[in-house]
Structure 1
Amino acid sequence: MAPRQLRTPPKLAPGTLRIIPLGGLGDVGRNMAVFEIDGKLLLVDCGVLFPEDDHPGVDLILPGFDVIADRLDDVVGLVLTHGHEDHIGAVPYLLRQRADIPLYGSRLTLALLAEKTREHRIHGVRPHPVTDGQRLTVGPFDLEFVAVNHSIPDALAVCIRTVAGTVLHTGDFKMDQLPLDGRITDLRAFARIGTEGVDLFMVDSTNAEVPGFTTPERDILPALQRVFATSRQRIIVACFASHVHRVQQVLDVAVANGRKVVYVGRSMVRNMGVARDLGYLRVPDNTLIEMRDLDNHRPEDVVIISTGSQGEPLSALSRIAAKEHPVVSLKPEDTVVLASSLIPGNETSVYRVINGLSRLGARVVHKGNALVHVSGHASAGELLYCYNIVQPRNAMPVHGEVRHLIANGDLAVASGVPRDRTVIVEDGAVVDLAKGRAKVVGQVDSAYIFVDGSGVGDVSEAMLTDRRILGEEGFVSVVTVVDLHTGAIVSGPDVHARGFAEDDSAFDGIRSQIAEALTSAMRDGVDDTRRLQQVTRRQMGKWVSDTYRRRPMIIPVVIVT
């Protein structure tokens, strides 16, 4: 791995293509890459990462596009490979800074994005729908779009041709040979482009550790049919709000079993409406019902398709599990199907939801006990196949955690790419492609940009540290009123705590110690509140550590009369 310490890259030489990943290399999410040549920038994807338990109060995490904030006028286009949140979710936040960046993507991808830009009230957006096989020129970049199969319709790989060389970026993909929509990954195009010569192959790494080939989507149908055949009450299926193929399968099985379907979750309702309007989702007449009409149908006649398969705290399924949903309440013997993979980092949240559902008497069916989900990403056998037909001069694994990137790099080497031409880097690395050779030349800051209720980028790592301390260790406030002229304690110390000692009488012993330490400090000439607050913090910190083995946030307040 290349070192991650910041290292200013050299000035970009003429005829050199620079690639900077700003997200998605080291994490599963917030995918984004910048390509630069001749003073112009092309962006590929702009997605979000969803927060984990160690990001308290954070709603979304954006790519580090602060790096290009002062160069947005140089951006000639943003290519969107597909419509998943981890590839398009951050686009509205980028467009807030420059709304007229030309957007290139498939019809479905741009339609899903259009819903987002409307919600964010962004005007002047410039979408340019493209199709697989199409080729166009955007500034100094010659782009060709290639059909790839993924867990959402209309996904695209992109071939980027420049004077410095040719890059083939797969986006997220797999090689399902019997896809539900009949749209396979165009390996003939991969082979043709490979014959022309690929200088850098940027390849999806998410399943690089998984041997063999990814299971076809249609193989989950028997498991879904068994769920419907053995369920005598209501069925709730939770999946990603953009997984059109999975929703189509559930709709088909529901119709075959005479059940009505209701969407639950704002993003599910929105996305499936878009997919149906564009013809990507086939919904038979008289199949859908409104959520408000649930009680008008017998439980055995209903299927609920919901968001929340990753245990997101505010999702419909999490609220159902916590008995907090305003309409849907779980009944004993209901069946809940988690029809999605488990994204790394979400394990605790998902198992919390599963336990909550089980506690309410539901039968929970998930990938661990039934084949109700298959991955949307190419496994090792498929990746090797692609390396062999493309035969790139250099390889750069993308989209995955560090272990995924390394495993993908090993596959590239096994297929014949020289080790020194296999570029394994994380976000912020600066990679230059020139004269058929890709190499790391620097490192820029691509730190997380946090979004919470207060705005974008208003949350710092220091604030997150404070939030973690508050959540895990609690806090103590100590308020004391002193008279600096006499060196006496006028009032207090008053101690209040949350998170470990709710009874204020527990602090009776330390109050006198703090008062004595403050009196001694004032007697020694300490006459400013900051230093007196430090005295208070030291006394309280030592006592709490010795008594409770905790390190809470301590807020000392010294008031001078």
Structure 2
Amino acid sequence: MSHPHPELSDPPALAKGGVRIVALGGLGEVGRNMTVIEHEGRLLIVDCGVLFPDDHPGVDLILPDFEYIEDRLDDIDAIVLTHGHEDHIGAVPYLLRRKPDIPLIGSTLTLALIEAKLKEHRIKPLTMNVAEGSREALGPFDCEFIAVNHSIPDALAVFIRTPGGTLLCTGDFKMDQLPLDGRITDLRAFARVGEEGVDLFLTDSTNAEVPGFTTPERDILPSIEQVFEKARRRIIVACFSSHIHRVQQVLDTAWEFDRKVAMVGRSMVRNMTIAQDLGYLKIPDGVLVDAKKLDNFPDDQVVLICTGSQGEPMAALSRMANRDHKIDVGAGDTVLMASSLIPGNENAVYRVINGLMRLGADVVHKGNALVHVSGHASAGELLYCYNVVRPRNVMPIHGEWRHMKANADLAIKTGVPADNVVIAEDGVVVDLVDGKASIVGAVPCGYVYVDGSLVGATDETLLKDRRILRDEGFVTIIVVRDAATGKVTAKPDIRTRGFAEDEQVFERVLPKLEEALDEASRKGGTDAHQLQQIVRRTVGGFVGGKLRRRPMIIPIVIDA
């Protein structure tokens, strides 16, 4: 594993009475959120999520690096889950594979979502259901849970009391004053714990660059209604499979316009079934139908809700755009992409939009209509929180470096001393000692890739090879030599894949290659590995210098 900060040494032993905070994901990136908090030799984990791959060919998911806690699983008192999004709960099954009896602490919906996921992994977890106002002792960690508003119901912040200091972790949150479910961020509780004293405030940075306040969820309803008014044929809505509020709005609007709704995609069906069973999703009578029965209804009476709003290759919407789905999108169909762009997904999303428009669909997205609002607090809301909480120290979490820097600047503007604002990245160790937070070192903390059924077997070297194969193609050179003498007995055979140039272009390098091989043979260089290096160096120099390409070169030496 790579060290995140070579300038930082291994951390010293935690000072007596101190609290140590190590993020194994979520800092410097949007996703993979996981924070390990240590006190008196015990550990508390807040969230354990995944990151979705960007330029990682063949990779399904990216996990936090568990190496830091691998030998201390017995020291973990609990995993606190702030809410049910994949970037906060998706890696739980991979951690529980190592120790299935680590207790999971979370709200009703959050636990229901993770329990369904764990069932697929054949893990039966130990769980503790908590709600806003709950207070639980988890080892030396006295945790109080506070309601926060987010783009999924039942989200919680957690106030952690320890003898060494107090921490307030917001999780993902915003301050919608008129939320669809009536559950607002509890600023009274924030103020109360602020009066008690918050030694370290770990707060969501995602929208720290955005001025003002995040638009309320209710404000997008007119845009959704307008889509329904204008649509001539089917309406296909793409959103996160956990965005219960958005699905509720679509269901209610479909009922008003006398349309039938079908869910498409395994995760969408699973999550909405859970939400309905628990009462978080209220489906109007007669609106929901099985996707298999859609042919029984005219196109202008149909709504599909599916996954794929981030351009995920295997999600339903991407497959529709590629004509690789049983649902054929065509002229007159309206696609409503009811989500914002996660940083890094822009190209994938625009590929899907272009593909759908090429098929004749009208695509409505955040770029041309108010069809989605963020689930994260903007700068104005963060300023309110800093003024209400009045923390002694601040550590921005959940965001890329630019987001965390903007969040840190907001804290400083409200009066938090600059020396008390810590911008850390994954693997950086922050100690809270005698009321002061500071960086004391770093631990190995790389990406762990899920590649099919393999976890951790894929590394950067393998991904580099895949990128080269994808972008540059490969050249195979077969050399046959006499097993007894070691001399090359036939002209090298060159084959290529992924090249626009004809293979005949390599006739120009053959004389040079044969000369290099003959010289190696005269000097007694008959080792197969040595010959492969000569082939790789000679052909690589030619391809790089003459063709300006850097393909993967695969030399094969055969003894005859």
- TM-score with structure 1 length normalisation? 0.98
CA distance in 2, matches of 1:487, 1:116: 58
Displacement after TM superposition at 1:486 (Å): 4.2
1:100-115 mapped onto 2 (5 Å cutoff): 100-115=101-116
Question: Which residue of 1 is the match for residue 202 of structure 2?
Answer: 202
Question: Which residue of 2 is the match for residue 61 of structure 1?
Answer: 62
CA distance in 1, matches of 2:81, 2:546: 55
1:275-424 mapped onto 2 (5 Å cutoff): 275-325=275-325, 327-424=326-423
Q: Is the 8 A contact 1:494 1:511 kept in 2?
A: no
Q: Is the 8 A contact 1:26 1:401 kept in 2?
A: yes
Displacement after TM superposition at 1:288 (Å): 1.1
Question: Which residue of 2 is the match for residue 441 of structure 1?
Answer: 440
Higher alpha-carbon deviation: 544-553 or 337-346: 544-553
Question: Which residue of 1 is the match for residue 19 of structure 2?
Answer: 17
Question: Which residue of 2 is the match for residue 557 of structure 1?
Answer: 556
Q: Is the 8 A contact 1:145 1:158 kept in 2?
A: yes
Displacement after TM superposition at 1:328 (Å): 0.8
1:406-555 mapped onto 2 (5 Å cutoff): 406-483=405-482, 485-486=484-485, 488-501=487-500, 503-555=502-554
Question: Which residue of 2 is the match for residue 262 of structure 1?
Answer: 262
CA distance in 1, matches of 2:491, 2:92: 53
CA distance in 2, matches of 1:349, 1:492: 45
Question: Which residue of 2 is the match for residue 271 of structure 1?
Answer: 271
Question: Which residue of 2 is the match for residue 165 of structure 1?
Answer: 165
Higher alpha-carbon deviation: 198-207 or 481-490: 481-490
Displacement after TM superposition at 1:503 (Å): 4.0
Higher alpha-carbon deviation: 477-486 or 375-384: 477-486
Displacement after TM superposition at 1:512 (Å): 3.3
1:119-198 mapped onto 2 (5 Å cutoff): 119-123=120-124, 125-198=125-198
Higher alpha-carbon deviation: 445-454 or 402-411: 445-454
Higher alpha-carbon deviation: 287-296 or 508-517: 508-517
Q: Is the 8 A contact 1:450 1:456 kept in 2?
A: yes
CA distance in 1, matches of 2:521, 2:20: 61
Question: SS at the partner of 2:490?
Answer: strand
Question: SS at the partner of 2:492?
Answer: strand
CA distance in 2, matches of 1:506, 1:323: 37
Q: Is the 8 A contact 1:6 1:445 kept in 2?
A: no
CA distance in 1, matches of 2:287, 2:500: 55
Displacement after TM superposition at 1:12 (Å): 1.3
CA distance in 2, matches of 1:289, 1:321: 23
Question: SS at the partner of 1:488?
Answer: coil
Amino acid across the alignment from 2:128: H
Amino acid across the alignment from 2:217: E
Question: SS at the partner of 1:489?
Answer: coil
Identity of aligned residues (%): 64
Higher alpha-carbon deviation: 177-186 or 451-460: 451-460
- The verdict on how the C-alpha distance between 1:484 and 1:523 changes in structure 2, with shifts beyond 3 A counting, is farther
Question: Which residue of 2 is the match for residue 41 of structure 1?
Answer: 43
Higher alpha-carbon deviation: 479-488 or 139-148: 479-488
CA distance in 2, matches of 1:6, 1:100: 34
Q: Structure 2 unaligned segments of length 5 or more: list them.
A: none
- The verdict on how the C-alpha distance between 1:127 and 1:171 changes in structure 2, with shifts beyond 3 A counting, is same
Amino acid across the alignment from 1:411: L
Q: Is the 8 A contact 1:82 1:152 kept in 2?
A: yes
CA deviation vs aligned residue, 1:25-58 (integer Å, no higher than 9, x gap): 0000000000001110000000000000x21111
Amino acid across the alignment from 1:536: V
10, 19, 31: which one pairs with 1:8? 10
Q: Is the 8 A contact 2:239 2:306 kept in 1?
A: yes
CA deviation vs aligned residue, 1:375-409 (integer Å, no higher than 9, x gap): 00000000000000100000000000000000000
CA deviation vs aligned residue, 1:66-99 (integer Å, no higher than 9, x gap): 2101110100000000000000000000010010
Displacement after TM superposition at 1:560 (Å): 2.6
Displacement after TM superposition at 1:527 (Å): 1.7
Question: SS at the partner of 1:490?
Answer: coil
RMSD (Å) for aligned C-alpha atoms = 1.2
CA distance in 1, matches of 2:97, 2:149: 31
Displacement after TM superposition at 1:4 (Å): 5.6
Question: SS at the partner of 1:12?
Answer: coil
Question: SS at the partner of 1:348?
Answer: helix
Q: Is the 8 A contact 1:30 1:86 kept in 2?
A: yes
Displacement after TM superposition at 1:496 (Å): 1.2
Displacement after TM superposition at 1:502 (Å): 6.7
CA deviation vs aligned residue, 1:222-260 (integer Å, no higher than 9, x gap): 000000001111000100000000000000000000000
CA deviation vs aligned residue, 1:421-457 (integer Å, no higher than 9, x gap): 0001111111111111111111111111111114110
Displacement after TM superposition at 1:5 (Å): 4.0
Displacement after TM superposition at 1:511 (Å): 2.8
Displacement after TM superposition at 1:485 (Å): 4.6
Q: Is the 8 A contact 2:487 2:526 kept in 1?
A: no
Count residues in correspondence.
557
CA distance in 1, matches of 2:332, 2:7: 54
Amino acid across the alignment from 2:190: F
CA distance in 2, matches of 1:364, 1:143: 45
Q: Is the 8 A contact 1:487 1:519 kept in 2?
A: no
Displacement after TM superposition at 1:108 (Å): 0.2
Displacement after TM superposition at 1:484 (Å): 5.9
CA distance in 1, matches of 2:81, 2:473: 43
Displacement after TM superposition at 1:121 (Å): 1.2
Question: Which residue of 2 is the match for residue 79 of structure 1?
Answer: 80
Question: Which residue of 1 is the match for residue 239 of structure 2?
Answer: 239
Q: Is the 8 A contact 1:4 1:426 kept in 2?
A: no
Displacement after TM superposition at 1:508 (Å): 2.5
Q: Is the 8 A contact 2:15 2:433 kept in 1?
A: no
Q: Does 1:92 align with 2:93?
A: yes
CA distance in 2, matches of 1:49, 1:405: 18
- The verdict on how the C-alpha distance between 1:87 and 1:544 changes in structure 2, with shifts beyond 3 A counting, is same
Q: Is the 8 A contact 1:215 1:375 kept in 2?
A: yes
Displacement after TM superposition at 1:295 (Å): 1.4
Amino acid across the alignment from 1:109: T
Q: Is the 8 A contact 2:240 2:339 kept in 1?
A: yes
CA distance in 1, matches of 2:288, 2:532: 63
Displacement after TM superposition at 1:140 (Å): 0.4
Displacement after TM superposition at 1:274 (Å): 0.3
Amino acid across the alignment from 1:373: H
Q: Is the 8 A contact 2:215 2:373 kept in 1?
A: yes
Displacement after TM superposition at 1:3 (Å): 5.0
CA distance in 1, matches of 2:301, 2:244: 22
CA deviation vs aligned residue, 1:133-179 (integer Å, no higher than 9, x gap): 00010100000000000000000000000001110000000000000
CA distance in 2, matches of 1:457, 1:294: 42
Q: Is the 8 A contact 1:5 1:443 kept in 2?
A: no
Question: SS at the partner of 2:158?
Answer: strand
